[in-house]
Amino acid sequence: MMQKIVNFVQDIYNTKEFISLHEPRFIGNEKKYLNECIDSTFVSSVGKFVDEFEKKIAEFTGVKYAVATTNGTSALHISLLLAGVQNGDEVITQPLTFIATCNAISYCNAQPVFVDVDLDTLGLSPSSLEKFLNENCEVKENRCVNRITGKIVKACVPMHTFGHPCRIDEIKDICDKWHIVLVEDAAESLGSYYKGRHTGTFGKLAAISFNGNKIITSGGGGCIITNDEELAKKAKHMTTTAKVPHRWEYTHDMIGYNYRLPNINAALLVAQLEQLEVFLQNKRELAKEYEGFFADLTDIEFIKEPQDSRSNYWLHAVSLKDRAHRDAFLKFTNENGVMTRPIWTLMNRLEMFKECQCTDISNSVYLEDRIVNIPSSVRI
């Protein structure tokens, strides 16, 4: 069976050479805009491409404001600070996520609390969230307080895993009821929609990533999206070292961060955005081929977009029978020129988060044992 899978992947990518998990594609105006940026000499955090990118990404996602940052982690860090997360607070998230989610929480000197994911979305489960809150928390003076730790639960950060939207509307309703700020980790879900709305538009703020392996990239890069004008202005100020505007004086009015996206990176992203619809369509076509192929195989299941969703299929994934089958699959494919990788180690297993409060996470454990990502690059 595994040789058949390797042969199929080689056929759809039309190569016998090593096939990466996810490679960037530069097939448009990237070199043209980079040259234009270099010729302008505005290659750092000021320039027309930064402004153009922010405008276009806001239009694409359907929000009023976007603030470009150096990467998705910095975007999430600032989003959490703007949500009011402070030293000693708690932030609810999922254990099945990339480390950046929990790192950003830790940068705020806050602590993650882990609730389970749903098997079909791979993202934070509304029922697990509600169960945790009902059993452990209470609302005091319009703040959610964890009765077990005595700490304030300030925010909730669901992550749209591999670009598959979680049940974000239900999560929002729960957060509103419990006076918890919803911040979406939409790092992987540019071009994904839930019930017709782009991911990242349900929470007060959201973070998107443009890392080298994302659906569009500038080598790095990220952005904050929001419909709140005041938060957007503050985000831009904080990410530009909190410098008070002046023609020559250096005055800073708060602790700021050097998180603004350079113009030269934004030039790449403007060009990449012009190809985004092509990339999204290509990924959906690839998903259809994978779905048809794996439907005929036993003990392996292709992960499809959840109900009410339109996924960007950033990383395609399959679920194996158990951990032993998963490990055998990983070994065979990687040794035969097809890059595959397991899903992340659960956050609560990592040394720095092993003492964090954690609910029953049976679904997360089940998925950790079985999920493997398979080649997902856009085909030219």
The residue ranges of every structural domain in the chain are: 2-26+276-347+357-374, 30-275
C-beta of residue 352 within 8 angstroms of C-beta of residue 298: no
Q: Which residues have a Cβ under 8 Å from the Cβ of 287 and sit 6 or more positions away?
A: 302, 304, 305, 311, 313, 316
What local confidence, expressed as pLDDT, does residue 45 receive? Answer: 83
Structure tokens that stand for 51 in this block: 């402004």
Residues of the chain with pLDDT under 50: none
* Model pLDDT for residues 191-210, shown as the tens digit of each residue: 999 999 999 999 999 999 99
Q: Return the CATH number of the domain spanning residue range 30-275.
A: 3.40.640.10
* Model pLDDT for residues 238-277, shown as the tens digit of each residue: 999 999 999 899 999 999 999 999 999 999 999 999 999 9
What local confidence, expressed as pLDDT, does residue 204 receive? Answer: 98
What local confidence, expressed as pLDDT, does residue 294 receive? Answer: 96
In the CATH scheme, what architecture does the domain 2-26+276-347+357-374 have?
A: Alpha-Beta Complex (3.90)
How crowded is residue 311: how many other Cβ atoms within 10 Å of its Cβ? Answer: 27
What local confidence, expressed as pLDDT, does residue 380 receive? Answer: 76
What local confidence, expressed as pLDDT, does residue 1 receive? Answer: 85
Could you tell me how far CA 23 lies from the centroid of its own chain? 17
C-alpha–C-alpha distance, residues 99 and 86, integer Å:
20
Sequence-ordered alpha helix ranges (H) in the chain = 2-12, 30-40, 48-61, 72-82, 99-107, 126-136, 168-177, 229-238, 263-273, 276-294, 323-335, 362-368
DSSP 88: T
Same fold, 2-26+276-347+357-374 and 30-275: no
Order of strands across the sheet that contains 300-302: 300-302, 316-320, 371-374, 341-342
C-beta of residue 226 within 8 angstroms of C-beta of residue 204: yes
